[in-house]
Amino acid sequence: MLLRCLAVASLCLSATFVEAAVPVLVIHGGAGVIKSEMTPDKEKQVRADLEAALKAGNDVLKSGGSSLDAVTKAILVLEDSPQFNAGRGAVFTHEGKNELDSAIMDGATLRAGAIAGVHRVKNPVLLARAVMEKSPHVFLVGDGAEAFAKTVGIELVEPKYFRTEQRWQQLQEALKAERKQQASALGRMIHYGTVGAVALDQAGHLAAATSTGGMTNKRWNRVGDSPVIGAGTYANTRCAVSATGWGEYYIRAVAAHDICARVEYANKPIAQAAKDVVMDVVPKLGGDGGVIALDSDGNFATPFNTDGMYRGWIDRDGKMHVAILGDEGRP
């Protein structure tokens, strides 16, 4: 009996002194940044909002909160900003409406929630999380998703909340080009956007979340990769990924899951796995964009193959970094 008690005590003591993971948070505000369109005022606001999102998520992690709560808090800040193609700053469809998509995934349990094609949900990431936590489903769309939102107390707003002059003018330019049969030339400039976050908490758990307004001038209730688990959003015990770019190609490549599979099954470093998919797999299909990817050891990467990608991170030293163009502040 004494030996058994000692053994149990030893196990408990060992569990008590398990070293906590050092939290890491990485966010993005969309790839495809056009340098010529980046005015000083716009850059200042984008950087301020990225920093605010990092602070919101990091405050959760510093207090011992979960990676799920951290990515949710970070995304909320980005959804409330008109600078990003998500929530308040969502782009317009061909019909002049806003259609919002989002997904979230808990790497520790593989639970996930996603929504697409909603018009009145103020913060789509909250509805995606509610689908994960308060429904038996993973993916809800359109009117059904909004009906569910009402049952769980998610805030709905009038569609005019999402109207910003910048996004409206982008739609007018796209329609004008379409009328001149120049849509193909413009297409590579209007499919970018999306916000995302990945986090590692003190318990060593990973999470990922993504939110988007989709593609300017999209038709027929098109849905991109952001809410598709494994394409634009994915997390497991080893890896978490949020993508941004030309969604059709990220879906075809199952890009987010592919990165994590390379980490888990091929033992590739997260930076190499992310680079292989973003710089090789997706471009070979004809697409472009970027990702943020984080592993369970706190290593992360932010590869992209466009002019730039709004991005930021708080590393294991607790330092905040924000970057927009080219190789600025990489990783």
* Segments making up each domain of the chain, as ranges: 21-325
- Across 110-116, average pLDDT: 98
In this structure, which topology does domain 21-325 adopt according to CATH? Glutamine Phosphoribosylpyrophosphate, subunit 1, domain 1 (3.60.20)
Active site residue 194: yes
14: pLDDT strictly greater than 50: no
249-275: per-residue pLDDT in tens?
999 999 999 999 999 999 999 999 999
Of 72, 93, 194, 216, the active-site residue reads: 194
Is the predicted pLDDT of residue 330 greater than 80, yes or no? Answer: no
Beta bridge partners of 290: 244, 304
Least confident of 73-87, 106-120, 304-318: 304-318
Tens digits of residue pLDDT in 239-255? 999 999 999 999 999 99
Residue 303 near residue 310, CB atoms below 8 Å = no
pLDDT at 18 over 70: no
Q: Express each pLDDT in 117-165 by its tens digit.
A: 999 999 999 999 999 999 999 999 999 999 999 999 999 999 899 888 7
Q: How far apart are CA 46 and CA 67, in angstroms?
A: 24
Q: State residue 181's pLDDT score.
A: 67
Residue type, 159: P
Where b means 16+ CB within 10 Å and e means fewer, 100-114 reads: bbbbbbbbbeebbbb
